[in-house]
Amino acid sequence: MDGRRIDELRPLKIEVGTLDKADGSAYVEHGRNKILAAVYGPREAHPKHIALADRAVLRCRYHMAPFSTDERKSPAPSRRELELSKVIREALEPAVMSEYFPRSTIDIFIEVLQADAGTRCAGITAAALALADAGIPMRELVAGCAAGKVDGKVVLDLSDIEDKQGEADLPVALMPKSNVVSLLQMDGSLTEEEFKQALDMSVEACRRIHEMQREALRHRYHVVKDEADKEEEATEVNA
């Protein structure tokens, strides 16, 4: 509807280290989605009884701001938000080396500031970067993107209007190096052939998003290095 090709991603903007106070953070604009992710931890588990002896517990809260959609969304957690918090956590868990941090928790907060379909996928893209920014050892990053069917055609990365008018939506998250799909859901109906086509399309898009994630992380560390160099120079001058 916005003139994109059938396999064209909506424009993406990725920033790592947006929040000073969180241990790790990232901000992702994916089309008209605007999503902030913050990570705290690993830190001591509270309440203590949730702690695991052999690894860290990952907790995830996906939340849509009341002003994120056209109609005011209730700020109270909905069933949808509970479900998305769970599937996002499960999509990230295989990438996190939680065995390094027994008896601790890693908390992931995903705040959707503006929603335009595909927020669970963009939330995963942002949260994986926030985890990396927090210095949490990971096997690899995780990237998310959905494909679907509109007007009888399999298309990539549906916006809200396309999603509402479409016949199916297939959100996917991928760990690109090991080729592991860590999230796969489907809403609507597709033939087996269309399903394969949609899966291939979203996996390929996740790979493209992964490149952008790596670029955003690299940029973050160049900025940190430049700041450290400047501080060192200033110390030398003062000395």
- The continuous run of DSSP H or E covering 152 comes out as none
Closest CA to 108 of 51, 37, 182: 37
Tell me which residues in 170-229 interact with ligand ADP (CB under 6 A). 171
Please report whether residue 140 would count as binding ligand ADP according to CB under 6 A.
no
* Stretch touching ligand ADP by CB under 6 A, among 19-27, 66-74, 87-95, 227-235: 66-74
> At its nearest, how many Å lie between ligand ADP and the CB of residue 6?
18
C-alpha neighbours within 13 Å on the C-beta side of residue 211: 5
At 182, is the secondary structure helix, strand, or coil? strand
> At its nearest, how many Å lie between ligand ADP and the CB of residue 76?
11
> At its nearest, how many Å lie between ligand ADP and the CB of residue 123?
8
Please report whether residue 119 would count as binding ligand ADP according to CB under 6 A.
yes
Closest CA to 141 of 165, 112, 175: 175
Please give the structure tokens belonging to residue 50.
């949730």
Tell me which residues in 68-107 interact with ligand ADP (CB under 6 A). 69, 71, 73, 80
Residues 176, 181, 183, 189: is their CA dihedral positive or negative?
Answer: positive
Q: How many amino acids of this chain bind ligand ADP (CB under 6 A)? A: 14
36 with 113: CB under 8 angstroms? yes
Please report whether residue 144 would count as binding ligand ADP according to CB under 6 A.
no
Q: Which residues are at the interface with ligand ADP (CB under 6 A)?
A: 69, 71, 73, 80, 115-120, 160, 163, 169, 171
